[in-house]
Structure 1
Amino acid sequence: MERRSRPDLNGAAWRRSSYSNQEGGNCVEVADSFPGVVPVRDSKVPYGPTLVVDSRAWAVFIARVKVGSYRS
């Protein structure tokens, strides 16, 4: 596994999940424009921890979410 340095997220443009609602439900935000990685955070805690996920792994995760692989 290749280890990369953490990107500088100051000034990152965050966008909220299209599945988020206006009542402040469980929301995920991602930041675009970071080659090879996808920064992810909880919109309710914008200054809290951020996960940085490999972009290929993120694409697989999103594809599986869209087909319902993670339903409980």
Structure 2
Amino acid sequence: MPRDTESIERDIERARNQLASTLDELSVRTNPKRLLDTAKTAVLAKVNEPPVKFALIGAGALVAVLVVRKIFR
């Protein structure tokens, strides 16, 4: 049974609206500022975890001790 033109036009309009919505969502997701903010938030969250935080403090202290030893030798 052939479809009428109104039905085809409605399908085309529906597909066009869905494509526009998808493109809008992609443009929001790939916004460089948003990607940078997301990455920054993820890094800060990881650094604030106790094991990572204490390891970084220990590494910083070790570097400081080595630098001080190198300066005063």
* Fold shared, TM-score > 0.5 on shorter chain: no
Higher strand share: 1
Which structure has more RCO (C-alpha within 8 Å, separation ≥ 6)? 1
Higher-helix-fraction structure: 2
TM-score when scaled to structure 1?
0.24
